[in-house]
Each structure stands twice: as structure tokens, then as C-alpha cells.
Structure 1
């Protein structure tokens, strides 16, 4: 029996929508809908026949006069009271659930949306992430799901209970880039990737980094917070849809340890200085720990940015041979798509 596929996409940063867009591209012959609060800036990543439902944000607005955090609910991460955005988005989602049966829902990520779908009788697949996620809300979401989908290899999987491991389908890592040789790299060229989800890589740090490493040329990709200094060894590119031409020239990359950045570094086999930012459930710190033993990877904590001898670190790192073997799978996207379809066929046979 033919069934529909929907994806809930969390609004924070660009990582969730980027990986979902890649998976969606491999799902052919299905009516596909994405639901989320920050889809418009990324609509160009999706084919014209992918439906988008723009949900209102779930945080307090000026019109929410009776907003209240309410009593603590151990089974939920986020459940404030009297937020119109939450009421509206739940009404939109349940209406969508009712009108688009049979439906399989992939959630990337939200405990509350996962449980809402299950309560509405919609089977779910939950995307796994790094971090410490064995709290009650996560366990309930994992239990309610038909399958857990990990967009990384089992070799860097976070510590989990055995039943979670058994329920997880590991695709191996993937990114928008393909593995190839690094023949275009130029010595002492360093890319600095500034993410959109909150980062300590700002104008003050870049000034410190560049002044500490006069023998290196830095290429900054992304939007910088703070006033840019006029530095002879720094070029600011701002946002680039495809930064690969810049990355190809660089022997090393400095960036945060968000999922997509790490997978892109693995795909390009780059020497990488990872800076794990503060995230819920220590996601980036857990990811940093998982890759810390990879040859050609150095981890620097945000609190150590101005105490680190960057000149020594970069000179030493440039002598290393990176080896991300086992992190990326060439068939990961096809595998993810096939796993999603297999769940749907099992349920709607």
C-alpha cells in the first residue's frame, strides 16, 4: 500500500534541515512533506514537489499574556502554558496527521512531536543525535518510535542502553561533499567555519587567532558576530552556499563540532580543530569526544580559546596525516532512505 512520508525539522541552526534535505532527495515516488518553524531560508535545498508546512514558533510572544512555565513534567522537555504558537502548531500538525493517512513521520528532532504523533496514531522514526539522552523524555520517545535512525557510524555512537542500540539503524556518516584527494591544498591555509547555531568563534577570537599565527592565512566562512578587524592574513567570505572551493585550498579547518561540520570534515578528509559549543545534552562535547582519537583532529574547549598556543597547535597539526576512515559511508543516504521505506512497508503492508 502506498503511504506518505513527513519530516518534522527542528528550527535550531541549519544542521537538521540540511541532512533531511539530503535524505529526501533519495526518496522517490512518495508524497513528502516537511513541517518546521524555519524552513523558508532552506527551501532552495528541496525539490519543487516537496510540500512545506510552516509552523509557528513555539516560544512566548508578546500576545501571550497568560504565559506560564507551569509545573515540571518529568516526561517532557518543553511544555509551557498559554503559548499561542504551541496551540496553533499542534492544531496544524494534528490536522495534517488526520488528512494525510497513511502516514509515516520522521522526527529530527523533538520528544514532544514524537509523542504527539504516536498519540495521534502516526508511526514514527526518530533521528538520533550525540549527547547524553537517556533521560525520561528521550526514553519515552525512543520507546514510542518504530525505529531510531543514526546518521553516523556505530564506531562513534554515543553510549546507550543495549535496547536503544538494537533499535537503531546506523547509516554511517554523510555530507553534501564527496571524498576525494587533497591535491589543491596550500600550506598554511586555514578555513574557519562559523556556524549559525551559536558559536564562540567571533570577531574577538579571530583577531586573537590571526595575530597569534602570522604565518597562516585564514579564510572565514559564515557570519561573524562583532566588528571585523582589518587583518592582513584574514579573508571574510560571509555565507557561501557551496564553500568547497575554499575548503579545498586549506590544509586545516577550525570549526564547531556540530554534526554536519564534523561529517563534512570527514568527507573531505581534513585536519580539523573542533571547538565544542554548549548545546542541550552536551551534544557537541559528546561528538568532540567521539572524534578526539581520529588522526588529524584536535579538540579545543571554548574556555581555552585564549589560553591555547595556536601557532604551535597549527604547525603541529599540519604535519599530521588525517584519517577519518570508518566515519563516512558512501551508501549512507541510500541506506537511510531504504530504511525509512522499509519501516513504512512493514507497517502499511
Structure 2
């Protein structure tokens, strides 16, 4: 089957997900996958999809000559859409472009990640689609309509992290792909990791502390992205107070007024060694960040950013319910009962159910769901046959004829 993948332009995560799925196909079959996005070329560089299989769509921003604004309110906006300007020339062009490219490239099945508007466009044009479900509580009318209009739903996270409020029918219609595999990178040894830490600071005192460290018990890593890092930065003075002797590493942006609370502040290309070899992680609950940390035994404190549909809050609640993470208040309460060294030891003991030798095996098993899904697409020529013979048995659902 020829697959079209619509990747929303907010952030690079949607294009990254498309890239990860394409990587599960053979090189020959990747040429049958086309990505549609309005993210500019410098917003994300694909590694598994060539430029000729990327369609750059017009933007969908509001224009001063719109007849109606995108969110015109009750009586002016269809309840099945989140955003629908009227008379917007850019959106008209992108809609024509999307449908024309689907027709010209003979796309059999669209994967929509994410847009209720593109979902409705495909459904009204009778184009089969699967809809990618992000984490959180997405029970508003546009989302539910997009879910109902899809042949099936895709969740790029484990079923165990599903939001408690998700309706049963939405769960049943969902294929849980677990966390999609990232491009494989070898994990350096602990000694190599320590050498990397040495290069991230010119402070002689920190160098001596790193040299004197015989294990990872004193390394605490704080991982932040560029959205909402201030909330995590606000916790750094308290973190330093609780762990005065730890080597605290801040990865990502940091406010100048709290820089003194950390020993190392840096930007790195790969956070995996920090996840693997730290004794404690403090981070938000973005999908890609949690996907990287989930299979490691490193204790995790989650500080979810406030996002629409409680996206990160729901992820944090599921992690805490599993016993995989602590909330900040839980960490503070635990810290009040013991000294810093015993605190770190206690947190590590609670996470011994997963060790680093198991990580590769767990990741391989988790990747099987996504691989099976992509293999099924490669195995079938007809969407109708795939839907009836492969997808519906997976979902244990049967639509009315």
C-alpha cells in the first residue's frame, strides 16, 4: 500500500514520528510513503524519507482578509473542527494541494498526526485514514469526531500509560505501538560518560569531584526542552538544598538566576547516557522524553508542563500510578525523612526491577508492536483487505455493513 503521513507543524515531534515509522520499512518500501507537512525544511531533517517524498503544504495561519476567524465561536464554527477560518486563501491552497497530491501519488491510506481538520477533509473526500492519538484527555467533539471517522487509531505509547478518562470505545479502536524506536546509538561506557562530563565544565572543583566519584551515586540530571523549562528551573534551588553534595547537571535551556544551583549546564545531542548513568532524573513528560527514559531503571521525578488536554499531566499520573516515577511533592516528602545519600540509595533500590542489561531486550520487545503494524502495511496491497483481514481482528471490532 502507498501511505501518506500528515505531520502537524507544531514542533518537530510529528515529523520525527513519521521518520521513525518509515525506518521500520525496507528501503524499497520507504519510497511508497509520502509525508505531508507545513513544517519548513529547516524545522526537521528526515533521515528515512527522501525529499521527493515530502510534500510541503501551505501554512494555515489566519489572514487579515479572512471572512471568518478560525475560532469564530458558537453558531459560526462547526463542532467537529478545532480551527476553521473561512475565506483563507492559504488553507484553500493547502486543501487542494493535499487532495491533489493524494490523487496524483495514488495514496491508499493516510495516517494523520494530528489534525481534526485534515481528518474531516479526508473523510468527506472518502480517503481512508488512521488517526494518531496523543497522550492526555482528548474528549472534545473535534477529537471524538476524528476518532470516529478513522479506520483505526494509533497510540505511539504503551497501553499502560493510557489516560484513565479515555472512553472504552476509543481504547478498543486503538493500536498501541508502544514508544517508537529511535535511531540506534551505542551507549558509551560509564568511564566514557564521565569523560564527556569533564568536557562540559571548566570548573576545577567539579573536575576533582568527578575524578573522585567511583560510581554514579552522586549524579542528578535535569532534562528540559524549550517549552516550559521555567517551571523546572524554579525547582532547582530546592533540589540543590536537598542534595547539596550531588553533581547536578542541567541539560537544555536554563535561567541565569538559577544557574548557580547546578554544577554543569549544557546542551547535548544525545541525552541517553545521562538517562542511563544518572542516579536521579528530573524532567517534564513530553512524549519523546519519556520514550527515552521509560525502559531505564534510573529513578524519575516528573514535572509535567501545562498543555492542552492535560497531555503531560495524564502521562505523569500514569507513570506515578505504575510506580515508575515520583511527583515533586512525593519527592519532597521522601526527602524530609532521610539525608541526601540515603535518599538517592532509597530511590535507586525502588527501581531495581529494571536494570541496564535488560534495557536492550525490553526495547526490542516494545518495538515489535510498531514493526508488526508496518509489516502489515507492507504485506497488503488493498486497504479493504488489510482493514478486514488484519486491522479489525487486532481491534476485535466489527463495523455495521
For this structure pair, what is the TM-score category when the shorter chain's length is used for normalisation?
Answer: 0.7 to 0.9
Which residues of structure 2 form unaligned runs of 5+? 191-214, 387-401
Which stretch has the larger CA shift, 338-347 or 210-219?
338-347
Give how far 1:329 is off: 0.9
Task: Give distance in 2, aligned partners of 1:296 and 1:155.
Answer: 11
Instruction: State the partner residue of 1:345.
Output: 382
Task: Compute the TM-score of the two structures, normalised by the length of structure 2.
Answer: 0.73
What SS is found at the alignment partner of 1:57?
coil
8 Å contact from structure 1 (residues 178, 267) kept in 2: no
- Kindly tell me: are residues 296 and 120 of structure 1, through their superposed partners in 2, closer, same or farther at Cα, counting changes over 3 Å? closer
Closer, same or farther: CA 308–15 of 1 in aligned 2, 3 Å: farther
Change in Cα spacing, 1:83 to 1:296, as seen in structure 2 (3 Å) is same
User: Of the two, which has the highest radius of gyration?
Assistant: 2
Task: Quote the Cα distance in structure 1 between the aligned partners of 2:302 and 2:11.
Answer: 17
What SS does the aligned partner of 2:294 have? helix
Q: Deviations over 1:57-82 (max 9, x none)?
A: 32235x54656232232221111334
**CA RMSD for the aligned pairs?**
3.4
What is the SS of the residue equivalent to 1:329? helix
Q: Relative to 1, partners in 2 of residues 1:156 and 1:272: Cα closer, same or farther, differing over 3 Å? A: same
Report what 1:270 is aligned to: 298
> Paired residues, what number?
340
Name which of structure 1's ranges 200-209 and 40-49 shifts more when overlaid on structure 2: 200-209
CA distance in 2, matches of 1:88, 1:282: 33
Partner of 1:34 in structure 2? 35
Change (3 A) 1:18 1:251: farther
Bigger shift: residues 325-334 or 161-170? 325-334
2:393 matches 1:336: no
- Paired residues of 1:191 and 1:218 also in contact (CA < 8 A): yes
1:293 is matched with 321
2:187–2:272 Cα contact (<8 Å) kept = no
Residue 20 of structure 2 corresponds to residue 18 of structure 1: no
Q: Would you say the 8 A contact 2:66–2:85 is kept in 1?
A: no
Unaligned runs of at least 5 residues, structure 1: none
TM-score, normalised via structure 1 length: 0.82
Structure with a larger share of its residues in helix: 2
- Structure number with higher relative contact order (C-alpha < 8 Å, ≥ 6 residues apart): 1
Aligned to 1:20, the other structure's residue is in SS state: helix
Q: How big is the shift at 1:22?
A: 0.9
SS in 1 for 2:289: helix
